[in-house]
Structure 1
Amino acid sequence: MERESATTYEPKRNSEIRVFESFDDISTDLAEYISQISEISVKERGYFAIALSGAPLVSFLWKLCEAPYNKTLDWSKWYIFWTDERAVAKNHAESNYKLTKEGFLAKVPILNGHVYSINDNATVEDAATDYEFVIRQLVKVRTIGVSESNDCPKFDLILLDMGSDGHVASLFPNHPALELKDDWVTYITDSPQPPPERITFTLPVINSASNIAIVATGDDKVKAVHLAVSDGTEGPDAPALLPARMIHPTDGKLVWFLDKAAAASLEANNGDASYDEHAEYRL
């Protein structure tokens, strides 16, 4: 895969950090990244099971709606899920389903029957239970793979965006949901960001994916990026449980997609090396 506009870092085993000059560069590389995983998954398993995060991430998927991807990808083999969802109606302005449908799904030929949104008529607790049941049924028939390490679903790709507080999906710093081990999908009623009621994948499910991508842009993400990827002790200001730092693929690969603003602390840490958009650095 060519990444002419990206600087690449390799901070930890099975993880990679790509730093880009612009949003357009991120979108271009992300489209190629998703395309390659899709093609490999369809060839090897016959399906491509992808779980998406919220609205900020959808804005980076527009390249997939254009040539060549809109014609070359085997969209009939795509299965769409959400890593998290707000407990609101599907036509609500804060619905991840609505935002994804308008920004992506309506522009590509993914089969309606392959799009799995939550039951927005149920309570948030029941919606989480129902969503986990649906995933378990699809794991049984191997539409979604299964992890050999822990029997969790093994999504081909989980796409996440990271908040300035270091949250991913609807897993927030120091929240009890971070400690769940057996549930695949859980619910929260006390999100620090509105709306308060949400369903979310748990860490074991996210970490069981074959591929995980985290997108973070903007200078408000600098501290969270630093805390998430740095080795050693971060100091007293770091949250005890920072969700983004807890993303460690069990048997997969993690790739960070950052703009230069979000990656500013990484640039500072490599201040002894000249910045080269074609270079590779190791942290």
Structure 2
Amino acid sequence: MGAQPILYSFDDVDAVSKALRKYVIEAQNAAFQRHDRFQISVSGGSLPKTLAQGLLADSLGSGDKVDFSKWEIFFADERAVPLDHEDSNYKLLKEELLDKIPKELGTPTVHPINLRYLDDLQELADQYQAEILQSFAAKDSVKIPVFDLHLLGAGPDGHTCSLFPGHDLLRETNAWVGYEANSPKPPPRRITLTLPVLTHGLKLAYVTTGDGKGEILHKIFDTEEGKTLPCGLVNEGAGDRVAWFTDTKAVKGVQFPKKSSL
């Protein structure tokens, strides 16, 4: 058996956000030591709100500081809509986090999609891949980008980013960014990081809370079928580089071993 993902379970969402803050700051500080910047990808859903709750909390001391000035934020997936559209992950992150960052914490570099290509999904995906390449190629010749951290969510069907169960995009091995024209969840047109990019991340954090997630988390962690779902494939591919941040409601009935502290 290979390395297993780490499943953290906390009493409530407040405790989840505090633990997530600690985890993200540790990843940030390690990244600053490696290359003096912090390259992350972020998904949508409930993640930005929980992330903001943690990151915008008061600092607890010298080792507990967020320095957004060295952050580079990409989107793990994005919908092919204008940036001010209610379905935009950029809009969600902007409203929940970016607009609320105090000046003294610095301003992150954010990489939204190029709106010129909204009508051509292949070109939209290609342009976003080029955007990533420009950032990562400064270090060395890049076969696949190694993000410092992916911040992800899990859908009720086990999808992650815009990688859906049974869809061809799960088998993509060459492109860093793929497109989905027929998402089972609206809106149908999206781009997404591909599985190899996700599983090459140095750290991956899933944030999943609420009793509505119990059934899918049981499937992902406790069944063979769950290993074939997109979230399960990430678990299998990245092993103990994956940390799940959940509350007790979300893991009720999950047999997989849980931890209550980092």
Instruction: Please report the TM-score for the alignment, with normalisation by the length of structure 1.
Output: 0.81
Partner of 1:48: 38
Q: Deviations over 1:190-224 (max 9, x none)?
A: 00011000000000000000000111122222222
Partner Cα distance (2:198, 2:157) in 1: 18
The yes-or-no answer on 1:255 pairing with 2:247 is: no
The higher radius of gyration belongs to: 1
For the Cα contact (< 8 Å) 1:78–1:110, is it kept in 2? Answer: no
The yes-or-no answer on 1:177 pairing with 2:184 is: no
Q: Deviations over 1:22-69 (max 9, x none)?
A: 111111100111011101110222110010000310010122113118
Partner of 1:242: 229
Instruction: Please report the TM-score for the alignment, with normalisation by the length of structure 2.
Output: 0.88
Q: Deviations over 1:239-278 (max 9, x none)?
A: x8410000034587110111112211225x77xxxx9967
- Cα–Cα, structure 1 residues 76 and 251, in superposed 2: closer, same or farther, change >3 Å? farther
Partner-residue secondary structure (3-state), 1:72: coil
Partner of 2:69: 76
Displacement of 1:110 in angstroms is 4.7
Equivalent residues in 2 for 1:104-115, closer than 5 Å: 104-108=97-101, 109-111=105-107, 114-115=109-110
Partner Cα distance (1:189, 1:277) in 2: 39
For the Cα contact (< 8 Å) 2:78–2:88, is it kept in 1? Answer: yes
The yes-or-no answer on 1:129 pairing with 2:126 is: yes
Which residue of the other structure, out of 11, 27, 45, is the alignment partner of 1:21?
11
The yes-or-no answer on 1:141 pairing with 2:141 is: no
Partner of 1:190: 182
- Cα–Cα, structure 1 residues 117 and 69, in superposed 2: closer, same or farther, change >3 Å? farther
- Cα–Cα, structure 1 residues 141 and 63, in superposed 2: closer, same or farther, change >3 Å? same
Partner Cα distance (1:276, 1:125) in 2: 41
- Cα–Cα, structure 1 residues 177 and 16, in superposed 2: closer, same or farther, change >3 Å? same
Displacement of 1:75 in angstroms is 1.7
For the Cα contact (< 8 Å) 1:89–1:121, is it kept in 2? Answer: no
For the Cα contact (< 8 Å) 2:221–2:254, is it kept in 1? Answer: no
Q: Deviations over 1:221-245 (max 9, x none)?
A: 22221222236x34xxx6x841000
For the Cα contact (< 8 Å) 2:3–2:239, is it kept in 1? Answer: no
- Cα–Cα, structure 1 residues 72 and 277, in superposed 2: closer, same or farther, change >3 Å? closer
Which residue of the other structure, out of 12, 21, 34, is the alignment partner of 1:31?
21
Partner of 1:87: 80
- Cα–Cα, structure 1 residues 276 and 81, in superposed 2: closer, same or farther, change >3 Å? closer
Unaligned runs of 5+ in 1: 1-10
Report 1 or 2 for greater relative contact order, CA contacts < 8 Å, sequence distance ≥ 6: 2
**Letter in structure 1 aligned against 2:248:** K
Cα-Cα RMSD = 2.7
Partner Cα distance (1:276, 1:30) in 2: 14
Displacement of 1:106 in angstroms is 1.5
Partner Cα distance (1:207, 1:162) in 2: 15
Partner of 1:153: 145
For the Cα contact (< 8 Å) 2:7–2:259, is it kept in 1? Answer: no
The yes-or-no answer on 1:102 pairing with 2:77 is: no
Structure in which a larger fraction of residues adopt helix: 2
Q: Percentage identity across aligned positions?
A: 34
Equivalent residues in 2 for 1:215-234, closer than 5 Å: 215-230=207-222, 233-234=224-225
Runs of 4+ in structure 1 displaced over 4 angstroms? 249-252, 275-278
